[in-house]
Amino acid sequence: MLNYFISRIASACVVILGVSCLVFFFIHLIPGDPIEVMLGESARPADREALRQALGLNQPILTQLGQYLSNLSQFDLGRSLHSKQAISSLLWERIPATVELALSGLLVALVLAFPLGIIAALKRDTAWDHSAMTVSLLGVSIPNFWMGPLLILAFSIGLGWLPVSGRDEATSIILPALTLGTAMAAILSRMIRSTLLEVLGEDYIRTARAKGLSSYQVVLRHALRNAMLPVITLIGLQLGTLLGGAVITEIVFAWPGVGQLTIEAIQKRDYPVLQACILLISVSYVVVNTMTDLVYGALDPRVRLNES
Residues at the site binding other proteins, with contacts judged by CB under 8 A: 11, 14-16, 18-19, 22-23, 26-27, 29-31, 137-138, 140-146, 149-150, 152-153, 157, 198, 201, 239-245, 247-248, 251-252, 262-263, 265-267, 271, 274, 278, 281-282, 285-286
Provide, rounded to whole angstroms, the least separation between the CB of residue 216 and other proteins: 25
Q: Which is nearer to other proteins, 45 or 160 (CB)?
A: 160
Least distance to other proteins, CB of residue 143, Å: 5
Q: Which is nearer to other proteins, 112 or 280 (CB)?
A: 280
Q: Min. distance of Cβ 30 from other proteins in angstroms?
A: 6
Task: Name the residue nearer to other proteins (CB basis): 208 or 250.
Answer: 250
Least Cβ distance, residue 174 to other proteins (angstroms)? 18
Residue 141 to residue 133: CA distance in whole angstroms: 12
Euclidean distance between CA atoms 260 and 8, whole angstroms? 32
CA distance linking residue 33 with residue 55, whole number of Å: 13
Give me the least distance between CB of 137 and other proteins, in Å please.
6
Q: Which of 100, 101, 80 is nearest to 91 (CA)?
A: 80
Q: Are 138 and 185 in contact (CB under 8 A)?
A: no
Residue 228 CB-density burial (10 A; 0-12 exposed, 13-18 middle, 19+ buried): middle
Burial of 72 (0-12, 13-18, 19+ CB in 10 A): buried
Between 92 and 145, name the residue whose CB sits nearer to other proteins.
Answer: 145
* CB of 186 or CB of 218, closer to other proteins: 186
Please state, as a whole number, how many other Cβ atoms lie within 10 Å of the Cβ of residue 66. 13
Contact 153/211 with Cβ under 8 angstroms?
Answer: no
Rounded distance, CA 10 to CA 234, Å?
22
CB atoms within 10 A of CB 204: 12
The CB-of-248 to other proteins minimum distance in angstroms stands at 6
Closest to other proteins by CB, 61 vs 220, is: 61
Query: Minimum CB separation from other proteins for residue 13, in Å?
Result: 12
Provide the 10 A C-beta neighbour count for residue 117: 27
Q: Where are the alpha helices (DSSP H) in 162-270?
A: 174-200, 203-210, 215-217, 224-252, 258-267
Let me know: does 173 contact 104? Beta carbons within 8 Å.
Answer: yes
Question: Closer CB to other proteins, residue 172 or residue 290?
Answer: 290
Closest contact distance (angstroms) between CB of 305 and other proteins is: 20
Nearer to other proteins, 11 or 214 (CB): 11
Whether 185 contacts 116, CB under 8 Å: yes
